Amino acid sequence: MDNKDNYIEEDEIDLKEVFSTLLKYKYSIILITMLITLLAAIYAYYKPNIYKATSTLEVSSKKSPISADDILGEALSQGSKDIDTEIQIIKSRFVTNMALKKVDFVKHYYGIKYYKKIELYKNSPFNVDIKHGYDVEFKITPTSNNKFILEVKDAKDENGTKWSYYREVSFGDWIKNKHFEILVKKIGDFNYKEYRFIAKDPDYLADDVRKGLQVSQAGKKAAIINISYEDNIASRAQHYVNAVAKAYLKQSIERKTKEATKKLEFIDKQLSEITKSLQSSAKNLEDFKKKTDTVSLSSKAEVEIKRSAELETQLSDISLRREIIQALFNQVRNGKGLESISIVGMGSDGSSLLGMIKQLQDTMITRKALLQDYTPAYPDVIKATNTIKQLKKSIYITIKNMLQLLKDKEALLKKSIAKEKKIISTLPANERVLTNLKREFLVNEKIYSYLLEKRSEVAIAKASTISKNRVVDSALLPQKPIKPKRKLIIVVGVILGLILGIMLAFLRSFLNDKIESKEDIEKATTVPIVASIPHISKDANDLVVLKSPKSIVAESFRSFRTNLQFMAKKKSGYTVALTSTISGEGKTTVAVNLAAIISLTGKRVIILNIDMRKPTLHEKFNLENSKGMSTLLTNKNTLTEVIEHSEYDNLDIILSGPVPPNPSELLESEDFADIIKSLKSMYDIIILDTPPIGLVSDARFILDLCDISLYVLRDGYSKKEFINNINILKSEGIKGLGIVFNDIKASRKGYGYGYGNGYGYYK
């Protein structure tokens, strides 16, 4: 139960210390909080408003169905595109550059108001044409309706050399310099005294603008893409987002139109060749009929013609397919243009190849996107690079196998055609020739009809090309900025300032090595505090207890006197030594007032100034220090001669006397001990004002001769490490050891002392 109470008491003491530290440094905490809050308010003021505009797109990621027999359609189809691929296309430099043609991100105009830059966008009263001088900030100060001062400060050229420019020029004149060439045209009234202008380099603008573009999928399963852009100009954010959406749709249509054009070019080339063959075969057939006067064939010949024509058509189809696959094979082998590679389909046989090529394209896009932010050594980039190598190898092997398969089919068809030709060769001569001519004509006619039909379909598709993607919601003009949240910034500033102020307060308290409370003493030693003396103003009389007997200082010394009586083992004839670690802790002032308060009780008291190196006791009583302890110990004066009687009853003094060359030896002599014995018979209490024990060794010997030893510590002056000296004295068995906590300020929480204002003086 006792232990529990001790823990509770310790917790309460710790909490008290926390609040005591906060109260001690309250003004610095308030000051720091106000300063950080002010900085936060300034930051919030100068931080420009940021607006966010958002547009929504619906993206078609499904591929239109293609017949397994549609060789040409499969050969030229681009396959399906997933959402991630479309997002990368929207974020591409190509789409960004298309959008930048509609929205001006190159020129930026600013007005200066209360040291704050306000971008004017399309509301600028002047316009600038620039030939060179990008990324240079120009200061424009109108001086009249026709002239202005053009200024550039500390700009850097390509070599890193600083340069400046300052001149009054006219509106509408080209201003040429080796660093820039611009033309400033006035188009409106000037509402600000000062303006700024800067033009971004168009060659590097796309990458800078793309960083602010946000493109994301609306949901995991939704074919909806959100396009957002943040800008300090609301209308520019709106215009840019809408421009990106339109540019994406436009490039989608252009891509589809380009695909259709490629199909038409391929079909026209095949049609041109097959037309010539068809015309030649038709002419040959007609000429032969006229020459031989042969009109019809036998039923056997008709069957052979039909069978042979089908085989020839299949051979032509396979040759066309092999030609397309061979082109794809060469493209993969060269490794060029793989991002836009045409995916060749062979019905169900080409589905695996289509999947691998699509995965290859997606991985290449992903790798390119990663390289914008990371180096080739980044783990994800390395993983994507290895995947691309493996996919290329797999695609290469798959296409090679497909080519071999087509070659095998082509060889079988050629064998079948050869057999049919042998059968036809058994026919009569005229019928045989007519059969071959008719077979050739039918094959060319069938291929021609197929190509003509596909050309019509592609031409119609090209003429009616529209994007399967569409804008669901165009970006609206943002009405409110999304940031900065100024109120939040200021609140954070207050909290941050408060936290920083408190942290600094505790840091200062931790680094403060001065004794500033009784708790500091009680934590470091078990030696009791005999007296707590409040602050004495430097304007107050040295003998405060006699001059102001009703003051708080006098009351504290009365309490001190009472505690001293309890420490003494006898009522009279005992000695009290006062010492400290260094000078300035107030032991002489304490000794004088202690002697004075005791003398008021009728007891005879004498004060001995043992500090013969730096004596100050004579100053307290306005006496000359011509004789005293030094002259007594050197036998120059007798004890009666050195005793000085003060103007107060029962209070005598022995001064230190002139400074001797060997004060330590004099005090450690038997004569000094005999003097103390003689004084005990003459006075009730003897008070010794000793030298600081931390500076000289004199006081240590004197303490062994005294009945009570008091160690003076001064509030806010003595260091915490001085308490170690008290603990050493206790361990050495010094009699009647106690602590006098001196000069306690009225501001200290928990102390009800105070006497005047200003810095006190203690000697």
Alpha helices, DSSP H, located in 79-233: 83-90, 93-100, 202-210
CB atoms within 10 A of CB 545: 25
Residues 6+ apart with CB under 8 A from 409: 318
| Residue count of the chain | 763
Quote the DSSP letter at residue 409.
Answer: H
Beta strands in 410-545 (DSSP E): 470-473, 529-534
CA–CA separation, 465 and 495 (whole Å):
60
749, pLDDT greater than 60 = no
What's the CATH fold of domain 518-744?
A: Rossmann fold (3.40.50)
Distance between the two ends of the chain, CA-based, in angstroms?
48
pLDDT digits (tens, 9 = 90+) for 17-65: 788 888 888 999 999 999 999 999 999 998 999 999 999 998 875 444 4
**Maximum alpha-carbon separation in the chain:** 176
341, pLDDT greater than 70 = no
pLDDT digits (tens, 9 = 90+) for 103-162: 999 999 999 988 889 999 889 999 999 998 999 999 999 999 899 999 999 898 888 899
Q: How far is CA 423 from CA 289, 309, 412, 417, 432, in A?
A: 21, 14, 17, 10, 9
**Centroid of chain to Cα 45:** 20
Strongest mean pLDDT among 244-258, 347-361, 626-640? 626-640
Query: In this structure, what is the dihedral angle of CA atoms 554, 558, 560, 561, given to the nearest 10 degrees?
Result: 130
Nearest to 399 by CA among 348, 337, 326, 342: 326
CA–CA separation, 268 and 192 (whole Å):
65
pLDDT digits (tens, 9 = 90+) for 451-461: 777 777 666 65
Q: Work out the pLDDT band at 262, boundaries 50, 70, 90.
A: low
CB atoms within 10 A of CB 654: 24
264, pLDDT greater than 80 = no
∠ CA 19-20-24, nearest 5°, is 115
CB 87 within 8 A of CB 507: no
- pLDDT for res 5: 42
Residue with tokens 């003004």: 27
pLDDT digits (tens, 9 = 90+) for 682-729: 999 999 998 888 766 667 788 888 889 999 999 989 998 999 999 999
Strongest mean pLDDT among 10-19, 56-65, 207-216, 536-545? 207-216
Strongest mean pLDDT among 291-295, 386-390, 681-685, 742-746? 681-685
For residue 175 the two structure tokens come to 């201003």
CA–CA separation, 203 and 298 (whole Å):
76
Residues 6+ apart with CB under 8 A from 523: none
pLDDT digits (tens, 9 = 90+) for 68-105: 444 444 444 444 457 887 888 888 888 898 999 999 99
Supply the mean pLDDT for the chain: 81
Amino acid (1-letter code) at residue 308: S
**Centroid of chain to Cα 345:** 51
CA–CA separation, 288 and 659 (whole Å):
153
For residue 679 the two structure tokens come to 């004084």
Report domain extents, the chain: 2-47+484-511, 518-744
- pLDDT for res 100: 92
Dihedral sign computed on CA atoms, order 726, 732, 733, 735: negative
**Which residue would you say has higher pLDDT here, 522 or 571?**
522
Amino acid (1-letter code) at residue 278: L
Sequential DSSP letters for 500-531: HHHHHHHHHHHH--B--SHHHHHHH--S-EEE
CB 313 within 8 A of CB 451: no
Q: How far is CA 395 from CA 71, 294, 333, 474, in A?
A: 20, 54, 10, 41
CA–CA separation, 669 and 675 (whole Å):
10
For residue 454 the two structure tokens come to 């596909």
For 238, counting Cβ atoms within 10 Å of its Cβ (0-12 exposed, 13-18 middle, 19+ buried), the class is: buried
11, pLDDT greater than 60 = no
Phi, then psi, of 49 in degrees rounded to 5: -65, 140
Q: What is the CA radius of gyration of the chain?
A: 53
Please, how many CA atoms are within 13 Å of residue 15, restricted to the half-sphere of its CB? Answer: 6
CB 708 within 8 A of CB 576: yes
CB 320 within 8 A of CB 71: yes
